[in-house]
Structure 1
């Protein structure tokens, strides 16, 4: 029989650490305020339903309340049974299953992990025209490396946070100029040639005059990271399973970019501020003096063990619909090749710069996501060269909506836009926006019937 668990102080500390009032915490856990108050006052024990709710919303913190192994099992089981492909189970039954049948719970967790892995493999195998992983181009190999690393590089992230702390760098990033000069590197501005954003000759970093302040600061941070963290970057590159020299050089550049973001947006300070402002990108960008894209990208990296942020997916799409950056810490995965689903609002955002669009979307497995998209324009610095136009997309599962300010703009109980990974992988049979039939389905063509799509998916 389960021993009654009274953990009022721990529950209260958890709520305060999350910056929530009793009312907000009660809403998060689907409790009444009076019941939560009784729990915090040790007037009532934590029930299986409450533990299951804590496992869903505060999985890492639950271990401090219930114990490491049972808490991790309950959190993982709650996540597995929250999959839309599985019939819903009441929270108290989830908790009872984890407690009374731990072996069965572990098998269900492993099965869910295998399903996630299979979904990811399906996304990576989208294009039969490619010759497999061995034929990956260097930038594809590096992109896949970051994806497989969870878009979080612990040694660099912690080293950057430590250096920023030593420099008092939890503010606007202005300290990186002085820090780079302290390395014996001069910083200059090129008033004539804007083709190269930055050039480094070993003693001088020359930056294009047309760069916005945020881009200029990021390039300085990049050069500082490449110099100060040369040893850990070299070690990570040496251990990476990359066969091409070009891929190794690209990975080193990508790691320096990662560290630059961590220098300008130190992990704990950035995560705490993101939670405080409910992940409002503009407010975060203003606080850390970073660009909209830099801020979105940093939010997608907050996966430090026991200090995770919201699991986000992030991508950048150009005007032709090509995905030039992608990462997902959610069940949603991006197509590795080609464009994204045409129903995603990111395509509309690319044509309408400086306007934030919000979308509630639903994937074929029934999972719902809330995302924002914004079109951005990077000026070229001269009339003869066109500016770069693209859009960024940042989203999370709808269950995180209370912590995502953009979710306030949609009715989460209303109709959602039906999206897929890409047309070749999408099983929907009734989509008028389909560009290609799914690779695993037969099609039927009726010459006597005209539809928006010239075939029916069987």
Structure 2
């Protein structure tokens, strides 16, 4: 049997304590150890035990990712995350998890892979929900639905595109990675002999290949103009990588492949404007305050939220969040979850979720503690947005975006400040959609769950016109 490498992490522990402005006694209390023991750990006189690894990872999940650790520790961490699923009622001891990762790494990896497969199967409940709603099977999906599912099942992270865009951003803007509109224009001109013309126009972005001019509509906001230029920079400079991924994707139609190409270029534009490494650090420094990040990176609220949902690089993950965009009719037009939170694929999402209220109240951030049927709680924010059409006779586009994380990450999410997360009354019970929600006592239910039979009484009427047979 191999001898497990002991983990000395004194420097990282001290940096973590100083970052959170904690005294030794305060951090020691959080970890359940004495201040003198913590002092020994910080001076590398003693290694971290499995129990302490568990406590540090639980108390500071994002900071723990940056700790120095060997492959066994990384495996133990991913195994610990899988075993934290509410599916398992009893907690597993940290020492047992560490021993399993050390002594049976093959089994531990297989278990983690099996749990990931279970999660993907759970996600496909959304597709079942769609089929029930539309009386359609998987083969009937429209091209844009195929592309949306491709990104969702790819965990909303495309490594080749993301790293290529990050490298391109550094070459355009330098180490800070924030490429100004003027820097993007110069890159198009110097690298591709393409000029940018910002002027009134019907199309938000239109490229004239003969004149080699990119026309961008001036009526857009500054962040939108910058994104349109970044899109063309990415589509031109990273065309080979985008084409490689689009051609290898398992899609059923050429239309879906073309839409995926556009989606990958949009993804690359976001990664170009908000390069992974510097953006991840900024997000953590300001505790994922979207408005602060948007000002820092000259991006819109929606663009910033979307980018936060793509922080899924192996070994450098960001805050596990969910993100979606909902229109005024309740249709979810963008969605991704790096958490255990599930979305309805189309309209019919839970009416108790705050995103529906936000769609009618623009430019105001609403905060909600939501509890899903599996007992997990989330801090959820939603903001209504309006995109002007630039003309009186055309209706502006109105929608809302939602962003959230599990309450265990509340310390990293500025929107959780001031909320009593332990209060039983603080959480709003929500579900995915009425068709698959098991809550039988919900007054907002639109129709019964698909796996229940209803009982109708001609002489009794409750808030909803039927009851479930027990």
Tell me the TM-score normalised to structure 1 length: 0.91
1:233-286 Cα offsets, whole Å, 9 max, x none, are: 111111011121211111111111111111111111111110100000010000
d(CA) in 2 for partners of 1:27, 1:431 = 44
2:326 counterpart (295, 317, 338):
317
Contact 1:29–1:50 (CA under 8 A) maintained in structure 2: no
2:164 counterpart (152, 155, 159):
159
Alignment of 1:164-243 (within 5 A): 164-168=169-173, 170-171=177-178, 173-174=180-181, 175-182=183-190, 183-191=192-200, 193-194=201-202, 196-202=203-209, 203-243=212-252
2:410 counterpart (397, 401, 409):
401
d(CA) in 2 for partners of 1:317, 1:36 = 47
Counterparts in 2 of 1:85 and 1:179: CA distance versus 1, 3 Å: same
Contact 1:60–1:307 (CA under 8 A) maintained in structure 2: no
Aligned to 1:123: 126
1:425 matches 2:425: no
Aligned to 1:39: 41
1:205-255 Cα offsets, whole Å, 9 max, x none, are: 112221000000000000111111111111111101112121111111111
Contact 1:97–1:105 (CA under 8 A) maintained in structure 2: no
Shift, 1:136, TM fit:
0.8
d(CA) in 2 for partners of 1:133, 1:423 = 21
What is the total number of aligned residue pairs between the two structures? Answer: 454
1:254 matches 2:275: no
d(CA) in 1 for partners of 2:386, 2:88 = 42
d(CA) in 2 for partners of 1:252, 1:28 = 52
1:383 matches 2:392: yes
d(CA) in 1 for partners of 2:443, 2:247 = 48
What secondary structure is seen at the aligned counterpart in 1 of 2:417? helix
Alignment of 1:53-92 (within 5 A): 53-56=55-58, 57-58=60-61, 65-68=68-71, 70-89=72-91, 91-92=93-94
Counterparts in 2 of 1:310 and 1:384: CA distance versus 1, 3 Å: same
1:434 matches 2:445: yes
Shift, 1:407, TM fit:
1.1
Alignment of 1:325-364 (within 5 A): 325-364=334-373
d(CA) in 1 for partners of 2:29, 2:372 = 24
d(CA) in 1 for partners of 2:303, 2:101 = 43
What secondary structure is seen at the aligned counterpart in 2 of 1:181? helix
What secondary structure is seen at the aligned counterpart in 2 of 1:374? strand
Shift, 1:348, TM fit:
0.5
What secondary structure is seen at the aligned counterpart in 2 of 1:371? strand
Tell me the TM-score normalised to structure 2 length: 0.89
Counterparts in 2 of 1:286 and 1:441: CA distance versus 1, 3 Å: same
d(CA) in 1 for partners of 2:432, 2:28 = 32
Counterparts in 2 of 1:27 and 1:150: CA distance versus 1, 3 Å: farther
Deviates more, 1:400-409 or 1:113-122: 113-122
1:50 matches 2:44: no
**In angstroms, what is the RMSD of aligned CA positions?**
2.7
Aligned to 1:446: 457
